[in-house]
Amino acid sequence: MTDSEFDILDELYFVTSFRDLLQKTSLPAPTLEKGLRNLLEQEYIKSFYPDPDTEQAYEVTSFGAICRDSFYLATKAGLLAHNTR
């Protein structure tokens, strides 16, 4: 897990929007997108779209189109990885 991914997970104890993650992590948008993609691929987080209550399965091909309009939450595996680092 990279430092950026650790910082992202640090903010995902509750459902959080992409916009809020940008502000809280101070990461550039492309870096945040890459970190979210990596965390989704590791199943450390899950995404929600178009609202914070509708879970969206991660799809490599469509993620870029909805990334900035989605919400995110750490999974149990993600929280364990975050807390044992």
Assigned token pair, 73: 């939450």
Q: pLDDT exceeding 90 applies to what percent of the chain?
A: 96
Sign of the C-alpha dihedral computed for residues 33, 28, 50 and 74 taken in this order: positive
Distant-in-sequence, close-in-space partners of 16: CB < 8 Å, separation ≥ 6: 24, 71, 72, 73
**Predicted TM-score of the model (pTM):** 0.95
pLDDT of residue 48 exceeding 90, the answer is yes
Strand order in the sheet with 55-56: 16-17, 71-74, 45-48, 55-56
Burial class from Cβ neighbours inside 10 Å (0-12, 13-18, 19+) for residue 71 reads: buried
